[in-house]
Amino acid sequence: MTILDSYKTSKGYYSLATLRQLDNHNLLGYLYLNEKEHLCPEGEELCRKKYLWQQALNLSLVQASKELVSDCLNQNIQIVFLKGLPLLNSIYKDIGERYLSDIDVFVKPSDALEFFDIMKKQNYIHYDIKKWAASKHKDDFRKTLPTGLEIDVDVHYKLIFNIDLPIEKSNYFPVPAPNLEVFLFHLITHLGYQHTYLRLNWLLDVFHFCHYFYNEINWTKLENSFKESHLENDLNCIKFILHKYFNFDIPINTTLKPWEINLLSRIVTPEFLLDPQKNKIKYYTLKHFLSPNLKSAIKYDILWLWSKVTGAA
Protein backbone atom coordinates (compact mmCIF):
# COMPACT_ATOMS: atom_id res chain seq x y z
CA MET A 1 0.00 0.00 0.00
CA THR A 2 1.25 3.47 -0.96
CA ILE A 3 -0.28 6.87 -1.62
CA LEU A 4 -0.20 5.99 -5.33
CA ASP A 5 -3.07 3.53 -4.86
CA SER A 6 -5.31 6.55 -4.24
CA TYR A 7 -4.86 7.69 -7.84
CA LYS A 8 -5.99 4.50 -9.57
CA THR A 9 -9.42 4.10 -11.11
CA SER A 10 -11.98 1.73 -9.63
CA LYS A 11 -10.63 -0.91 -12.03
CA GLY A 12 -7.10 -0.50 -10.69
CA TYR A 13 -5.57 1.48 -13.57
CA TYR A 14 -3.98 4.89 -13.88
CA SER A 15 -5.87 7.06 -16.36
CA LEU A 16 -3.87 9.06 -18.90
CA ALA A 17 -5.04 12.27 -17.23
CA THR A 18 -3.73 11.03 -13.88
CA LEU A 19 -0.43 9.97 -15.45
CA ARG A 20 0.03 13.47 -16.81
CA GLN A 21 -0.50 14.81 -13.30
CA LEU A 22 1.91 12.27 -11.83
CA ASP A 23 4.44 13.31 -14.46
CA ASN A 24 4.55 16.66 -12.65
CA HIS A 25 5.86 14.64 -9.70
CA ASN A 26 8.50 12.87 -11.82
CA LEU A 27 6.95 9.45 -11.22
CA LEU A 28 6.42 7.95 -14.68
CA GLY A 29 9.74 6.11 -14.73
CA TYR A 30 8.98 4.75 -11.27
CA LEU A 31 5.53 3.60 -12.39
CA TYR A 32 6.97 1.91 -15.48
CA LEU A 33 9.18 -0.28 -13.29
CA ASN A 34 6.85 -0.85 -10.34
CA GLU A 35 3.26 -0.49 -11.55
CA LYS A 36 3.35 -1.75 -15.13
CA GLU A 37 0.37 -4.05 -14.57
CA HIS A 38 -1.71 -0.97 -13.72
CA LEU A 39 -0.90 0.89 -16.95
CA CYS A 40 -2.95 0.82 -20.14
CA PRO A 41 -0.90 0.27 -23.35
CA GLU A 42 -0.77 3.98 -24.13
CA GLY A 43 0.13 4.78 -20.53
CA GLU A 44 2.83 2.12 -20.49
CA GLU A 45 4.44 3.60 -23.60
CA LEU A 46 4.32 7.08 -22.08
CA CYS A 47 6.02 5.80 -18.92
CA ARG A 48 8.56 3.75 -20.89
CA LYS A 49 9.74 6.80 -22.82
CA LYS A 50 10.09 8.79 -19.61
CA TYR A 51 11.98 5.90 -18.00
CA LEU A 52 14.49 5.67 -20.88
CA TRP A 53 15.06 9.43 -20.82
CA GLN A 54 15.45 9.35 -17.04
CA GLN A 55 17.91 6.47 -17.27
CA ALA A 56 20.14 8.34 -19.73
CA LEU A 57 20.07 11.51 -17.62
CA ASN A 58 20.88 9.64 -14.41
CA LEU A 59 23.80 7.81 -16.01
CA SER A 60 25.31 11.18 -16.94
CA LEU A 61 24.73 12.57 -13.45
CA VAL A 62 26.29 9.50 -11.81
CA GLN A 63 29.34 9.82 -14.07
CA ALA A 64 29.62 13.51 -13.19
CA SER A 65 29.47 12.65 -9.48
CA LYS A 66 32.31 10.14 -9.89
CA GLU A 67 34.46 12.80 -11.52
CA LEU A 68 33.76 15.17 -8.63
CA VAL A 69 34.66 12.51 -6.06
CA SER A 70 37.91 11.70 -7.85
CA ASP A 71 39.12 15.30 -8.04
CA CYS A 72 38.03 16.05 -4.47
CA LEU A 73 39.94 13.04 -3.17
CA ASN A 74 43.05 14.26 -5.00
CA GLN A 75 42.67 17.65 -3.29
CA ASN A 76 41.80 16.10 0.10
CA ILE A 77 38.36 17.74 0.06
CA GLN A 78 35.61 15.79 1.78
CA ILE A 79 32.19 15.95 0.16
CA VAL A 80 28.92 14.12 0.71
CA PHE A 81 26.01 13.88 -1.69
CA LEU A 82 22.49 14.74 -0.54
CA LYS A 83 18.95 13.77 -1.52
CA GLY A 84 18.49 11.76 -4.72
CA LEU A 85 21.91 10.68 -5.99
CA PRO A 86 22.89 8.33 -3.11
CA LEU A 87 19.51 6.61 -3.40
CA LEU A 88 20.38 5.27 -6.86
CA ASN A 89 21.81 1.76 -6.81
CA SER A 90 20.87 1.48 -3.13
CA ILE A 91 17.19 2.02 -2.32
CA TYR A 92 16.35 2.28 -6.01
CA LYS A 93 18.00 -0.70 -7.69
CA ASP A 94 17.41 0.46 -11.26
CA ILE A 95 19.27 3.64 -12.18
CA GLY A 96 16.26 4.93 -14.11
CA GLU A 97 13.76 4.34 -11.31
CA ARG A 98 14.18 7.67 -9.53
CA TYR A 99 14.28 10.99 -11.39
CA LEU A 100 17.27 13.26 -10.70
CA SER A 101 17.12 16.90 -11.70
CA ASP A 102 20.61 17.70 -10.46
CA ILE A 103 23.42 16.76 -8.10
CA ASP A 104 23.24 18.03 -4.52
CA VAL A 105 26.55 18.01 -2.68
CA PHE A 106 27.59 19.24 0.76
CA VAL A 107 30.97 20.96 1.06
CA LYS A 108 32.51 22.47 4.17
CA PRO A 109 32.66 26.28 3.87
CA SER A 110 36.40 26.10 4.52
CA ASP A 111 36.79 24.02 1.34
CA ALA A 112 34.66 26.29 -0.84
CA LEU A 113 37.50 28.01 -2.74
CA GLU A 114 39.27 24.75 -3.54
CA PHE A 115 35.95 23.23 -4.62
CA PHE A 116 35.32 26.23 -6.89
CA ASP A 117 38.66 25.50 -8.57
CA ILE A 118 37.64 21.89 -9.16
CA MET A 119 34.33 22.95 -10.68
CA LYS A 120 36.12 25.40 -12.97
CA LYS A 121 38.58 22.69 -14.01
CA GLN A 122 35.65 20.43 -14.89
CA ASN A 123 34.12 23.18 -17.07
CA TYR A 124 31.25 24.10 -14.77
CA ILE A 125 29.94 27.67 -14.88
CA HIS A 126 29.09 29.32 -11.57
CA TYR A 127 25.78 31.17 -11.57
CA ASP A 128 26.54 34.26 -9.52
CA ILE A 129 22.95 35.33 -8.99
CA LYS A 130 21.27 37.31 -6.25
CA LYS A 131 20.08 34.92 -3.54
CA TRP A 132 17.22 35.28 -1.12
CA ALA A 133 17.54 34.30 2.55
CA ALA A 134 16.61 30.62 2.14
CA SER A 135 19.08 30.08 -0.74
CA LYS A 136 22.18 31.87 0.53
CA HIS A 137 23.64 28.63 1.88
CA LYS A 138 24.05 27.26 -1.66
CA ASP A 139 25.92 27.88 -4.91
CA ASP A 140 24.71 26.78 -8.34
CA PHE A 141 26.87 25.36 -11.12
CA ARG A 142 26.12 24.06 -14.59
CA LYS A 143 27.98 22.56 -17.52
CA THR A 144 26.76 21.41 -20.91
CA LEU A 145 27.98 18.07 -22.22
CA PRO A 146 28.88 17.57 -25.91
CA THR A 147 25.54 15.75 -26.24
CA GLY A 148 23.74 18.95 -25.23
CA LEU A 149 22.73 17.54 -21.85
CA GLU A 150 23.04 20.03 -18.98
CA ILE A 151 24.49 18.93 -15.64
CA ASP A 152 23.40 21.07 -12.69
CA VAL A 153 25.17 20.93 -9.33
CA ASP A 154 23.80 22.53 -6.15
CA VAL A 155 26.58 23.03 -3.62
CA HIS A 156 25.37 23.24 0.00
CA TYR A 157 27.45 24.78 2.79
CA LYS A 158 24.73 24.11 5.38
CA LEU A 159 22.20 21.32 5.49
CA ILE A 160 19.30 23.81 5.46
CA PHE A 161 19.40 27.59 5.31
CA ASN A 162 18.76 27.95 9.06
CA ILE A 163 19.90 24.54 10.35
CA ASP A 164 23.40 23.10 10.38
CA LEU A 165 23.69 19.58 11.81
CA PRO A 166 27.05 17.81 12.16
CA ILE A 167 27.46 15.42 9.22
CA GLU A 168 29.23 12.09 9.46
CA LYS A 169 29.80 9.85 6.45
CA SER A 170 27.70 6.74 5.98
CA ASN A 171 28.85 3.40 4.57
CA TYR A 172 25.42 2.41 3.28
CA PHE A 173 25.57 4.08 -0.14
CA PRO A 174 27.62 3.72 -3.35
CA VAL A 175 28.71 7.38 -3.10
CA PRO A 176 29.76 9.51 -0.09
CA ALA A 177 26.57 10.37 1.82
CA PRO A 178 25.55 11.55 5.30
CA ASN A 179 24.84 9.23 8.21
CA LEU A 180 21.34 7.79 8.09
CA GLU A 181 19.77 10.09 10.68
CA VAL A 182 21.04 13.31 9.06
CA PHE A 183 20.16 11.99 5.61
CA LEU A 184 16.58 11.24 6.68
CA PHE A 185 16.29 14.52 8.59
CA HIS A 186 17.20 16.33 5.38
CA LEU A 187 14.79 14.30 3.24
CA ILE A 188 11.89 14.98 5.61
CA THR A 189 12.58 18.69 6.13
CA HIS A 190 13.19 19.24 2.42
CA LEU A 191 9.82 17.60 1.68
CA GLY A 192 7.81 19.24 4.46
CA TYR A 193 9.34 22.26 6.16
CA GLN A 194 11.06 23.65 3.07
CA HIS A 195 8.66 22.72 0.25
CA THR A 196 5.31 21.83 1.88
CA TYR A 197 4.92 18.45 0.15
CA LEU A 198 5.35 19.84 -3.33
CA ARG A 199 6.43 16.55 -4.96
CA LEU A 200 5.13 13.02 -4.43
CA ASN A 201 8.44 11.49 -5.51
CA TRP A 202 10.09 13.14 -2.48
CA LEU A 203 7.42 11.55 -0.28
CA LEU A 204 8.20 8.15 -1.80
CA ASP A 205 11.89 8.76 -1.07
CA VAL A 206 11.08 9.17 2.62
CA PHE A 207 8.89 6.06 2.70
CA HIS A 208 11.42 3.86 0.91
CA PHE A 209 14.28 5.21 3.05
CA CYS A 210 12.41 4.50 6.31
CA HIS A 211 11.38 1.05 5.10
CA TYR A 212 14.79 0.09 3.73
CA PHE A 213 16.83 1.29 6.72
CA TYR A 214 14.22 0.72 9.44
CA ASN A 215 16.51 -1.42 11.62
CA GLU A 216 19.64 0.66 11.02
CA ILE A 217 18.23 4.11 11.79
CA ASN A 218 18.73 5.44 15.31
CA TRP A 219 15.19 6.73 15.69
CA THR A 220 15.87 8.40 19.04
CA LYS A 221 18.74 10.35 17.52
CA LEU A 222 16.52 11.38 14.61
CA GLU A 223 13.72 12.49 16.92
CA ASN A 224 16.14 14.53 19.04
CA SER A 225 17.35 16.36 15.92
CA PHE A 226 13.80 17.44 15.15
CA LYS A 227 13.21 18.52 18.75
CA GLU A 228 16.43 20.54 18.87
CA SER A 229 15.47 22.22 15.59
CA HIS A 230 11.92 22.91 16.85
CA LEU A 231 10.50 20.94 13.93
CA GLU A 232 8.51 18.31 15.83
CA ASN A 233 5.43 19.10 13.73
CA ASP A 234 7.37 18.23 10.59
CA LEU A 235 8.25 14.81 12.01
CA ASN A 236 4.71 14.27 13.29
CA CYS A 237 3.27 15.15 9.90
CA ILE A 238 5.35 12.58 8.03
CA LYS A 239 4.51 10.02 10.72
CA PHE A 240 0.80 10.77 10.12
CA ILE A 241 1.13 10.46 6.33
CA LEU A 242 3.14 7.24 6.42
CA HIS A 243 0.59 5.65 8.73
CA LYS A 244 -2.47 6.83 6.79
CA TYR A 245 -1.35 6.37 3.19
CA PHE A 246 1.40 3.74 3.39
CA ASN A 247 0.18 1.62 6.33
CA PHE A 248 3.69 2.08 7.74
CA ASP A 249 4.64 3.25 11.23
CA ILE A 250 7.92 4.80 12.32
CA PRO A 251 8.99 4.27 15.97
CA ILE A 252 9.02 7.82 17.31
CA ASN A 253 7.53 8.94 20.60
CA THR A 254 6.20 12.38 19.69
CA THR A 255 2.46 12.42 19.15
CA LEU A 256 -0.12 14.70 17.62
CA LYS A 257 -2.87 16.33 19.65
CA PRO A 258 -6.46 15.51 18.61
CA TRP A 259 -6.92 18.92 16.95
CA GLU A 260 -3.67 18.41 15.01
CA ILE A 261 -4.83 15.02 13.75
CA ASN A 262 -8.11 16.61 12.67
CA LEU A 263 -6.24 19.43 10.92
CA LEU A 264 -3.94 17.10 8.99
CA SER A 265 -6.85 14.79 8.10
CA ARG A 266 -8.63 17.73 6.49
CA ILE A 267 -5.58 19.13 4.69
CA VAL A 268 -3.30 16.27 3.73
CA THR A 269 -5.57 14.36 1.35
CA PRO A 270 -4.52 12.53 -1.84
CA GLU A 271 -6.01 15.40 -3.83
CA PHE A 272 -3.94 17.94 -1.90
CA LEU A 273 -0.72 15.94 -2.35
CA LEU A 274 -1.34 15.78 -6.10
CA ASP A 275 -1.45 19.59 -6.33
CA PRO A 276 -0.57 21.23 -2.98
CA GLN A 277 -0.63 24.81 -4.24
CA LYS A 278 -4.08 24.59 -5.82
CA ASN A 279 -5.81 25.35 -2.52
CA LYS A 280 -3.85 28.29 -1.12
CA ILE A 281 -5.59 28.24 2.25
CA LYS A 282 -4.70 24.59 2.87
CA TYR A 283 -1.20 25.11 1.50
CA TYR A 284 -0.33 28.04 3.76
CA THR A 285 -2.04 26.50 6.77
CA LEU A 286 0.14 23.41 6.43
CA LYS A 287 3.22 25.51 5.65
CA HIS A 288 2.80 27.45 8.89
CA PHE A 289 1.98 24.30 10.85
CA LEU A 290 5.31 22.77 9.76
CA SER A 291 7.33 25.84 10.74
CA PRO A 292 9.07 26.06 14.15
CA ASN A 293 6.62 28.77 15.24
CA LEU A 294 4.28 31.41 13.82
CA LYS A 295 6.92 34.15 14.08
CA SER A 296 9.35 32.08 12.03
CA ALA A 297 6.67 31.33 9.42
CA ILE A 298 5.70 34.98 9.01
CA LYS A 299 9.34 36.05 8.77
CA TYR A 300 9.91 33.43 6.05
CA ASP A 301 6.86 34.68 4.12
CA ILE A 302 8.05 38.29 4.29
CA LEU A 303 11.54 37.35 3.10
CA TRP A 304 10.05 35.30 0.26
CA LEU A 305 7.82 38.18 -0.84
CA TRP A 306 10.76 40.57 -0.68
CA SER A 307 12.79 38.20 -2.86
CA LYS A 308 10.10 38.48 -5.53
CA VAL A 309 10.25 42.27 -5.35
CA THR A 310 14.05 42.35 -5.60
CA GLY A 311 14.35 39.53 -8.14
CA ALA A 312 16.42 37.26 -5.88
CA ALA A 313 16.49 33.54 -6.71
User: How is the chain split into domains, by residue range?
Assistant: 3-310
Express as a percent the part of the chain with pLDDT over 70. 91
Would the pLDDT of 134 be above 60? no
pLDDT value of position 309:
56
> Lowest-confidence range among 59-68, 122-131, 183-192, 222-231?
122-131
Q: 237-262, pLDDT tens digit by residue? A: 999 999 999 999 999 998 899 999 99
Mean pLDDT across 283-302: 78
- Element containing residue 143 per DSSP (H, E): strand 138-144
pLDDT value of position 302:
61
Q: 196-208, pLDDT tens digit by residue? A: 999 999 999 999 9
- Tell me, what amino acid is at 288? H
pLDDT value of position 132:
45
pLDDT value of position 166:
81
The verdict on pTM exceeding 0.85 is yes
pLDDT-derived band at 292 (thresholds 50, 70, 90) equals: confident
Mean pLDDT across 295-309: 61
CA distances from residue 74 to 114, 175, 181 in whole angstroms, order as listed: 11, 16, 28
pLDDT value of position 298:
65
Strands 150-156 and 103-107: parallel
pLDDT value of position 161:
73
Mean pLDDT across 53-65: 96
CATH 3.40.50.80 fits 3-310, yes or no: no
pLDDT value of position 254:
84
Q: 169-179, pLDDT tens digit by residue? A: 999 999 999 99
- Count of beta carbons in the 10 Å neighbourhood of residue 195: 14
Q: 139-155, pLDDT tens digit by residue? A: 999 999 998 999 999 99
User: For the chain, where are the alpha helices, taking DSSP H only?
Assistant: 16-23, 28-34, 41-74, 112-121, 180-189, 200-212, 219-228, 232-246, 258-267, 270-274, 280-290, 294-310
Mean pLDDT across 19-46: 97
What is the distance between the alpha carbons of residues 77 and 108, in angstroms, rounded to a whole number?
A: 9
pLDDT value of position 127:
86
Q: 62-113, pLDDT tens digit by residue? A: 999 999 999 999 999 999 999 999 999 999 999 999 999 999 999 999 999 9
Mean pLDDT (the chain, rounded) = 92
Mean pLDDT across 29-55: 97
